[in-house]
Amino acid sequence: MKTIEIETFSDEIYDTKDRWLYIGMLFVPTEKREELLWNLLDRRCIQHNSWKWIENDCPYKCGYHSWNNTEIHYAKVHKTNAKFRIAHRWLEFLIKNNKENMELIYFNILGIDLGRLNLSEFGEDWLNIYNRFFRTVLLGGAKYFFGGHSKIIVNRIHHDKGSQQRHPYFPWHVGYKVNLTDNKIFIKNPKIIFVDSNHRNYPNEDGDYKEESQFIQFTDLILGSIYCCLHARAERKEKIKLGLIIKPLLYRLLNNPKNANSSYHYYRKQQVSFFPKSEMKLDEACKQLDLFGRKTINKKTTRGFYTKRPILLQDPKQKKLWEWEK
């Protein structure tokens, strides 16, 4: 029941066509940060698995360092072979982490069906909705993953740079609200740190967050690959291949999220949920936001959070349903 310290890293997908908003958050325990970081970095060194930030420090003169020193962004993985291969290796590591129960990767993803919410009640700016549900993802994930600890200290909240940083409330409101109302979680630095996902842009006048940008890129890759599975609109073969890597894990997360005996070891480490199950007004939605991820969820509720949803991405070598059991 000791205290645990963590950091979080977030990104989003705003799908205007299908009217879905996805929030992805990676939770990194401080004691595991370096191990996770170097597992990601070493996979940038495709030939030798031994990454150095500065090419001259590398004992292997492969000639590909500058190519591999690239931003990993799901939307652009098809641009170069290096981007795709590193993204592929990162997702393979995610599955390796799960299969070997390494307990390095914790993520919470929430998909919000905007077509089932009365958007006018949230105000004209979609960021007002984002602000409300971002706190839900943070609280729900932290308590679901680390609820066995007596206290959860969030040292820093990181977010990919974007329109959120210009919102009048988002950069400070989440930390302020949590510290004011929650006894289990304490936000040590309530102000959100906005990180440039392209680590090559550091250091700059705002500081050096090239390590943090790796976690932002990893979050983007996980979120993008899951989005690919759910919407199946990707046309590039590289994106489809990445979606197929994560698909077996996603299938289990959606259809049996509480399976503590799964060979993928995702229980209380990873979560994918959606909201709402049916059309809902603002007052109904707000009543359920703080219930997300808690044991006190009303089991009779049928209109709020849910996990089961079809995976539209098809694999020509797709397994039969009975093969997905465990």
User: What are the residue ranges spanned by the domains of the chain?
Assistant: 4-324
Between CA 153 and CA 140 the distance in angstroms is 14
pLDDT of res. 317: 66
Predicted local distance difference test score (pLDDT) of residue 207: 75
- pLDDT on residue 322: 45
pLDDT, tens digit only, all 326 positions of the chain: 799 999 999 999 999 899 999 999 999 999 999 999 999 999 999 999 999 999 899 988 888 999 999 999 999 999 999 999 999 999 999 999 999 999 999 999 999 999 898 777 666 567 788 888 999 999 999 999 999 999 999 999 999 999 999 888 899 989 999 999 999 999 999 999 999 999 999 987 677 999 999 999 999 999 999 999 999 999 999 999 999 999 999 999 999 999 999 999 999 999 999 999 988 776 676 666 654 444 334 444 446 899 999 999 997 666 555 455 55
pLDDT at 318: 65
What pLDDT is recorded for position 295?
39
Q: How remote is the C-alpha of 306 from its chain's centroid?
A: 18
pLDDT of residue 282: 63
Q: What is the pTM of this model?
A: 0.92
Q: What is the pLDDT of residue 60?
A: 86
